[in-house]
Structure 1
Amino acid sequence: MTTKSKRGSLKTGLLGLAMASTLGTAAFAQDRTELGFATSASGGTGYMYAVSVATVVNEDSEDLKITPFPSAGVVENDRLLRGDEAQLILHTGGEAYDSYRGEGRYPSAATDLRAILPIYASLVQIVVPADTEATRPGDLKGKRVGLGEPGSSANTYVRQAMEAEGVKDGDYDARPNSLTEQVAGVRDGNLDVLSIVMGAGAPALQDLATSRDVRWISMAPDTLQSVMEMNPPGAVVPAIIKAGTYAGQDSDVQTFGVPIWIMARADLTDAVVTQILTRFLGNMDRASEVHPIVTNTTKEFVAGATPPVPWHDAAVSGLEEMGYSSLPFSE
């Protein structure tokens, strides 16, 4: 009887310990905020930037975890945020402007879309085999042109660059391929033009430049001006791909950049936004070890970025706390 009683007590004690452990784990999981971060193609700088953010924010953190994942582009990111399938996203200024107002490709206004941080200008890059005769977007008429996946920035801005030089939809063979498919197509001769909106020095393009003799197409000043007039203020900015960025690139390439923003919904808590900004901006050296693209988030870039949507309530104060200034939002 005594033995049975002891065994019963031991069993009860172990069960209670297991239940307490389970409840403790559940409580911990409930206390920790987990954020899905929709980014860009997996070979892109946007994805690697998000990995850098997640790395420094998650380190030594028991209350916040960010998980970046690749996506088909900013239009998909916007959809994921609206559906709460992502809590942080990368967005371009122009697309965010349309989403907030329910214009363009967005049937309804996402009035709760909020800006957290402008991170860098993603560059419009048009790549052709070095032996092709094409030297500007107007020369791409009749070519097999990779435009990125539907909903990607390239599908918008590269088409605008061609349109500025008189090349309209239907004047070329548009291929809505992923970056991986485009790289393979140019390398194998099955595609005449690769186009992408991505940070300079993207690994996938580095690999292409070392395996195939390719050339980057420059934009004329009048083309840049036309594209800027097609977009809201601040949606595109002139930019340079510096000589030597890629193997065989002997001179600067004039193009334009699309400012990229980290965005969220208005209901993301102030505490979480503040933690993201202070932990990330306070550990930029560590973040740049993950990927050097984060060095493009300079105080000058942040100060000059025109917000296409309202700032999150905690963003401006969080930036100021870290020594960054910002432009006000204007309807």
Structure 2
Amino acid sequence: MKKFLSSILVLTLLFALAACGGGNGENAQNDGTTETEEYLPSQIIIATGGTSGTYYPLGGGIAQIITDNTEVSATAQTTGGSVENVRLLNSQEVDMAFVQNDIADYAVNGTMMFDGAKTENLLGLASLYNETIQIVLPGNSTITSVADLKGKRVSVGAPGSGVEANAKQILELYGLTFDDLKAERLSFGDSVQQMQDGNLDAAFVTAGAPTSAVTELSATNGVKLLNIEDEKADELIKKYPFYVKETIPADTYPGVPETKTVAVKAMLAVSKTLPEDFVYNVTKALFENVDQLIAINKKAESISLETAVDGLTMDIHPGALKYYQENGVK
């Protein structure tokens, strides 16, 4: 009987310990709060964008680099882009994501389209390349300054999009709001069509230059780009540090001179649940195999250690940070 009771007691203790050790990837703290537990799955998912964009093919390349250089298999997943990717990352449906750095900033601070819904599960891994703010006009336009957009028919991007936020912030520099414009909220393709038909005076486009929609306009009606002057760019960056200065080289679009503007950064964000050693290995593999990405898309030529943390206003994952510190990145 004593042996039987002892066995019952041991089993009871084992069940109690199992109950304490199980859960949803969170550890209870002494203060009653929880801390996300690091977890390394056998396969990770990288949220990218549409199949016709830049995020998806580069995401496939990065997935292959991770698969070849770590103990984890990685897969690129098509998505609706930055805003959706943040939500997928926050809900732990994906492990890594391509995100514009301004969208990531809004997410971690709970502002703009994430107002009141601060994202907790997002850390920076690396800046990749510039997403250029292009203020596009038909080739026959007489508009010469952002200030001249007052009262004009201007596409400012889809509601709740990163383009809309960029347009709002840049117009602020010139004392304008959307109420000062005849604002339209159109996609890049629809903006081009409306300009071709003479129904739109200008459009904000946030994308790597050259952008196919803008190239299409240049081939039909010709195209002009507006400059953002250096002092205005400095003012913008001081207020919104996720921006960087950018120069669009002459003849990026036929006949268009060198244009000064600003850009946000395409970046890789990562779940804070991924272990430090794994993220260190991913970061190392990424920067040691950039040539594989350049073969996929020339935008990868901009990926370098020198600019790896440019425009990142959120915390960087400890694994990536360790790699940067070892390589003198500040």
TM-score (norm 2): 0.77
**Aligned-partner residue type, residue 329 of structure 2:** S
Deviating more after overlay: 112-121 vs 169-178? 169-178
Q: Which runs of 5+ in 1 are unaligned?
A: 1-29
Q: Does 2:63 align with 1:54? A: yes
Distance in 2 between residues matched to 1:149 and 1:167, nearest whole Å:
19
Structure 1 residue aligned with 2:260 = 254
- CA deviation profile, 1:58-95 (whole Å, cap 9, x unmatched): 56988412214242x53333222222343322333343
Q: Does 2:180 align with 1:191? A: no
- CA deviation profile, 1:254-304 (whole Å, cap 9, x unmatched): 00111332112200234542443233322211210110001111232226x
Shift of 1:48: 4.6
1:99-178 equivalent positions in 2, closer than 5 A: 99-106=107-114, 107-178=116-187
Asked if the contact 2:214–2:223 (Cα under 8 Å) also holds between the matched residues in 1, the reply is: no
Structure 2 residue aligned with 1:236 = 243
1:201-220 equivalent positions in 2, closer than 5 A: 201-220=210-229
**Aligned-partner residue type, residue 326 of structure 1:** V
Structure 1 residue aligned with 2:92 = 84
Q: Does 2:287 align with 1:287? A: no
Shift of 1:147: 2.1
Distance in 2 between residues matched to 1:61 and 1:206, nearest whole Å:
40
1:34–1:95: structure 2 CA closer, same or farther, 3 Å change rule? closer
Number of aligned residue pairs: 290
Distance in 1 between residues matched to 2:120 and 2:172, nearest whole Å:
31
Asked if the contact 2:154–2:202 (Cα under 8 Å) also holds between the matched residues in 1, the reply is: yes
Identity, in percent, stands at 23
Asked if the contact 1:49–1:293 (Cα under 8 Å) also holds between the matched residues in 2, the reply is: no
Distance in 2 between residues matched to 1:207 and 1:85, nearest whole Å:
36
TM-score (norm 1): 0.77
For the aligned residue pairs, the C-alpha RMSD in angstroms reads 2.8
Structure 2 residue aligned with 1:265 = 271
Structure 2 residue aligned with 1:9 = none
Q: Secondary structure at the match of 1:310?
A: coil
Asked if the contact 1:44–1:198 (Cα under 8 Å) also holds between the matched residues in 2, the reply is: no
Q: Which runs of 5+ in 2 are unaligned?
A: 1-39
Q: Does 2:243 align with 1:221? A: no
Asked if the contact 2:242–2:312 (Cα under 8 Å) also holds between the matched residues in 1, the reply is: no
